[in-house]
Amino acid sequence: MVSLRTGSIVVCTNERCDGTFRRVGKAMAIVERDGHSMTLFRLHYNGQYYVIPTEQLRKATPEEKKRDKKSPSEWAQTPATLNLSRVYKVNRPTTCAPYVF
């Protein structure tokens, strides 16, 4: 069982997804869908959102955080509100646009 909190800096461990494997990001929200824990994950280097099963994440080490730093220009465009209803059950990391329109 993975013990993460919303706001944790985490690393994706799923080797099948080229876009997120070993990338550092922030756990923006953790929700339950169909009996499974899903995390809304935002990549540090480009600010892109993904829905990732929580068991495929782990806390980032200080070395990983230094290697994969947050891009201030990409994170400046953070929406005020996230629509968590767009976080759905997935088996592997999947791109998501959780904005409220």
- Per-residue pLDDT tens listing for the chain (101 residues): 557 899 999 999 988 887 889 999 999 999 998 899 999 999 998 888 999 999 999 999 999 999 988 888 877 777 778 888 888 899 999 888 877 55
3-state secondary structure of 86: helix
Contact present, 46 and 70 (Cβ < 8 Å)? no
CA-nearest of 1, 34, 10 to 93 is: 10
CA-nearest of 86, 90, 97, 21 to 57 is: 21
CA-nearest of 46, 42, 79 to 57 is: 42
pTM equals: 0.86
